[in-house]
Structure 1
C-alpha cells in the first residue's frame, strides 16, 4: 500500500491488480453461466474472451503474478470447454456456435441453457434442453439436462469421483439427468452419460434413438427400438440411479458464491429452472480479509468438500491469514487449511513469538519511513502501518523519531532499523499523553526500538494487558510513571533490553501478570527495579538490577515470581523485599553491596531462597520479621556489616544447609519472640557470637556446626529459651555455650569441645538445662558464677586440664549423674 499522508494508505499496483483480476474473473464466470442458461452460449463465450484479453494484458499477469496466471488458465479452460462440448455434440441451438463451424441440436428441437452443476471433484457447467414430447397419452417428461464437467483440476482435487455414482473414465463426461435412471454411453475416448427419467421415479423410460442433424426422438414405454445412433457411440446401457440431492453453494476463488445443480423432483407440475444466487462481490478498494464470515461453506453430501486452490498459489485472503502463517512455519506451500483461526492461534500459543517471527520465515513486510512521503508502498507513521497489517506481517521501521502512541492489536512484528553509520541513531517512539505502546495482541514482537514516555500523566511507557509481547534489544524509559507494566494475565518476554529512568518502578507485574524477563539491565528507577503483586508470577533470569531508589526486587500482596541467576546490587532499600504474604522463589542469585539489607522479609512474607550469594551488604544479609516465615536453603551469607541472619519481632522460618561466616556481628540473631528452625548450617568466623538469642527469642538449632567465632559459639541473654540438639560447638574464642542475664535454654546431645574458655557457662541469673552432652574443653567443662544456676545431668565431661565443673559460692545449680567430673 502506498502512503500520501500520515494516515492515508493506497494498495501497491500488483496486489490491487491481482484483486481486480480475481473479482473480474469470478463475475465473468457468473455472467457467462447466466447467459448460457438463457440460451446465448455465444454471448457467454464472448464475455469470457473479453475477460481473457483483459487479464492477459493486466500488469500483474505481465509481471508473472502466480494468481493472475492461474486466473487466466481458468478462463482459457472455460472457453476451450465450450468449444469442445459443442464440437463433440454437433448440436444446434437457438444461439450461434462458438466456433461458427458447427451447430448444436437435440432430439425434439429443444432449447439450450446452462447451469452450474457441482459433481464430486469438478465444477459443472451444464446445458439443459427443453424437449417437447410426442403427442401421446403418456405423462409428459421433465426437461432433460446435459451436464458437462469443466475440468478445474488446477484448483485442487475434491472427493473421489466414484462417490457420485457416475462412470467417469473419459476426459469429458456429460449426462442427461432428471433424478431418475441413467444411461451410460461410450463415445471414442470421451465417456458420455445420458440420464432420463419419467414423472414417477419407479418407472423407466427408454431412449429409442439419437439421430444426427435434425431427426426427432420418440420414446415407447417398456421397450427399446433400434435406430441409427450418432457416429462414435458404440453402445447404450440402462440403469436406475438414486435421486440426486440439491447441490450446495460453491465458493470460487474466495469471493463469489455459486449455487449449482437442479432441484430433484419425483413428479408433479414442472417448474422453472432454479435461479442463481446473486454474486457476493468485494469492492476493489477493500483490503483483503483473512476469512469471509459472510459467505459460509455448506458441506456437500457424503462429506465432500469443495476443491481447494492449488498448492503454491494462494488467494489474497490467504496471504495475511493464520493459515499462510502456519504453512510458512511448517515449510509447506501456501494454501488454505481446513482449520479455524481459533485452533491455529491455540497451536501458536505453545510457541514463543521469537519462533513465530523468526528471520528465516518469509513473512509479508510493511515499510515505515517518516521521510518517505511520496514513496508508494511506504507508511509515514507506525500507527497507519498497524491499521493495515495482517496477522504475521513484519513492520520494518526506518530510523527516526516517531511521536505517536501505538496500540498493537494484531499479531505483528515491529523491527527497528539502525542507521548505516557506526553508532548511528535508530528508531525512537515517544509519547507524552498516553502509553507509548499498549499491546493487546495474542502474540507480537518488538525489536531494536527505543521507547520514551515524556509526559506528566503518570502513564506507563509500555503496557501489556493481554497476550505475549516479545521485547528484545529495546531501550525503555518513563519520565512520569512505570517503564513496563504487565496486567491481566499477560505474559510478555523482555530480553536484552535497558529499562531505566522510570519515575516509578522499572517493571511492575500485577493482576496475575507473568512472563519472562531475561538478560536486561534495570537501573535508576524511582521505585523498585521489579515489582510483583496480586498473584503475578514472572520469571527473572540473568538480569542486572542496580541503583534503584527502593529495592531491587519487591514482591508483595500475594505476589510470587521466580528469580534465577540475577545480579542485584547497590539499591537504596535492600536487594530483595518480600511482604504481605508474597511467596517468591530466589535461586542462584547474587545479592551484594546493598545500601541496607540484602534480603528483607516482613509483614508475613513467605518465599523460598536457595543457593544465593548474599554478601557485603551494609546491614544484615537476611532479615526476617513481623510473622514472616521464609525457607532459606543452601545460601552463602558472608561479609555483611551486621549479622548474617536476623530473625526479629515474631519472625520464624526454616534455615537449612546455609554457610554463614565473616559477618560484622553475629552469624545468627534471634530476638523479640521469634522462633526459627536452624538445621545443618555452618556458622563460623563471626566477629562476635556464632548464635545470639535475646528478648524472648526461642527456636530450634539442630545438627549445626558452630565454630571459630571470636566470642561464644551460642549466647543467650534475657528471657530467651532456645533448644539446641545434636550440634557441634567447637573452637570458639569464648565459651561454647553461655547463658547470662536470666537467659536459659535446653541443650541436649550436643558435642561441645575445643573452645578457648569453657564448654558451658552460666552467670548473672542464667539457668539453662544441660543434658546428655559431651563436653571436653581446655579449662572447665561447666563454669557457674555470679548467681548462675541451671540443671546439669547425665553429661560426659572429660579431657579437662582444670576442674570438670566449677560452681561459685553464690550459685545453686542442680547436678545429677554427670560422668568424668574431677
Structure 2
C-alpha cells in the first residue's frame, strides 16, 4: 500500500505548549517546575480544510467534523473512507490526530513526527484504537489524553519527544499496552491532575527524568512493565499521587527505583526492584503507601529508605543482597515492618537512627 503523505508549515508562533526549556534538576524537578514543563492548551486546535494538515477523525455518525477526513461514507463501521493507516504525518503546525466527543476510529501503522504540539490528542470521551504508530521527535508530548479522553494504544513506539512521551490529565483514562516509551527529553509517562489510565506490559526506558511520574491525586495502574535505565528514577510519585504499581521489573535506574514523597499514598505490590545505581524504594517528606510482596535486591544504596515524617507499611517483602543497609529509618522516618525477609546485606538488615 502506498503511503499518504500529509505535510504542513512550520510551527506557529505561540503555538507550542510548555516552557522554552525544561530545566535539568540535580535530583527530580519540583512540583512547580513539573507543572510548568507540562502546561498544555485546553482548547483543541485543528487546521482547517484549506490547509495541508488534515487528519482523518471520525465520530462514527457519518458526518464531517471539520478535520477534512470523513466524507459521510463510513461503511457502517465507524471509520472514515480515508482510512488513517500507513500514513506519514510530519511537520504539522499543531496536532496531527485530535480525537474528541466520543469519536472512534482505528489509526494504524502511521509515522507521526516533528510536530509542534502533541502528535496525538484525545479528549472529551474520545476512544480511538491506536496501533503500531511511530510517534517521535515532537516539540511537545507524543500523546496527550485529557478531559475524560480514553483510547486503546497498542504496540506503539513513542520516543524522543520534547516533553513526556505520554501525558494523562484531568480524568483521562487510556489503556496503553505493549508500547515502547523511551528517550523522552523530560520523562516517559506523566499522569497528573486526577489522571488515570492502565499501562500494561510496556517497555519504559532511557528517559531523561523519571520513567513514570504520578502526581496531584492521580490514580493510574502501572502493571507488568519493564522500567529501566532511566537517567533519573523509575517511578516517581509525589504531590498527593496515588496509583497501583504492580508486577513491574524496575532496574538499572540512576536514582531510586520507586520514590514516594509529599503525602503520596500508592500501593506498591509484587515488583522486582533491583540493580539500581541508588536505593530501591525511597519514601520521604511524609510519604505513605502500602509496600508489599516486592523483591528488592542488589541496589547500590539501601533497599528501602524511610525518612522525614514518612509512614509506609512494609509487608511480606524480600529485601536482600544490597550493597548497604536493608531498611533504613532516619530523620523522623516511621512505618510498619511486618513479615518481611531481610537478609544478605553488606551492613545491617534494619537500621534506625
Normalising by the residue count of structure 2, what TM-score does the alignment of the two structures yield?
0.81
> Within 2, Cα distance between the matches of 1:466 and 1:482?
11
* 2:48 equivalent among 446, 454, 459: 459
Residue 484 and residue 623 in structure 1: after superposition, are their counterparts in 2 closer, same or farther (change >3 A)?
A: farther
Structure number with greater CO (CA < 8 Å, separation at least 6) is 2
Whether the 8 Å CA contact 1:667–1:690 is kept in 2: the answer is yes
* 1:690 equivalent among 273, 280, 291: 280
* 1:717 equivalent among 297, 300, 307: 307
* 1:707 equivalent among 275, 293, 297: 297
SS at match of 1:514: coil
Residue 255 of structure 2: aligned partner: 665
Whether the 8 Å CA contact 1:485–1:509 is kept in 2: the answer is no
* 1:635 equivalent among 217, 220, 225: 225
* 2:112 equivalent among 522, 526, 540: 522
Residue 726 of structure 1: aligned partner: 316
For residue 468 of structure 1, report the CA deviation from its aligned partner: 8.2
Residue 40 of structure 2: aligned partner: none
* 2:181 equivalent among 580, 587, 591: 591
Residue deviations 1:380-400, cap 9 Å, x none?
xxxxxxxxxxxxxxxxxxxxx
Q: Which has the larger radius of gyration?
A: 1
For residue 629 of structure 1, report the CA deviation from its aligned partner: 0.4
> Within 2, Cα distance between the matches of 1:689 and 1:466?
48
* 2:342 equivalent among 742, 752, 760: 752
> Within 2, Cα distance between the matches of 1:692 and 1:449?
49
* 1:502 equivalent among 71, 92, 111: 92
Residue 140 of structure 2: aligned partner: 550
Residue 451 and residue 687 in structure 1: after superposition, are their counterparts in 2 closer, same or farther (change >3 A)?
A: closer
SS at match of 2:84: strand
Q: Structure 1: any 5+ residue segments left out of the alignment?
A: 1-414, 416-446, 470-480, 764-822
Residue deviations 1:92-123, cap 9 Å, x none?
xxxxxxxxxxxxxxxxxxxxxxxxxxxxxxxx
Whether the 8 Å CA contact 2:59–2:104 is kept in 1: the answer is no
SS at match of 1:578: strand
SS at match of 1:758: coil
> Within 2, Cα distance between the matches of 1:762 and 1:701?
19
Q: Structure 2: any 5+ residue segments left out of the alignment?
A: 13-45, 72-76
SS at match of 1:495: coil
Whether the 8 Å CA contact 2:57–2:97 is kept in 1: the answer is no
For residue 466 of structure 1, report the CA deviation from its aligned partner: 5.2
Whether the 8 Å CA contact 1:485–1:507 is kept in 2: the answer is no
Where in structure 2 are the equivalents of 1:123-272 lying within 5 Å? none
For residue 506 of structure 1, report the CA deviation from its aligned partner: 1.2
Residue 684 and residue 758 in structure 1: after superposition, are their counterparts in 2 closer, same or farther (change >3 A)?
A: same
SS at match of 1:537: coil
For residue 528 of structure 1, report the CA deviation from its aligned partner: 0.7
SS at match of 2:349: strand
Residue 688 and residue 450 in structure 1: after superposition, are their counterparts in 2 closer, same or farther (change >3 A)?
A: closer
Aligned length: 305
* 1:623 equivalent among 195, 213, 216: 213
Residue 540 of structure 1: aligned partner: 130
> Within 2, Cα distance between the matches of 1:586 and 1:466?
21
> Within 1, Cα distance between the matches of 2:216 and 2:350?
32
Pairwise CA RMSD? 2.5
> Within 2, Cα distance between the matches of 1:485 and 1:639?
43
Normalising by the residue count of structure 1, what TM-score does the alignment of the two structures yield?
0.36
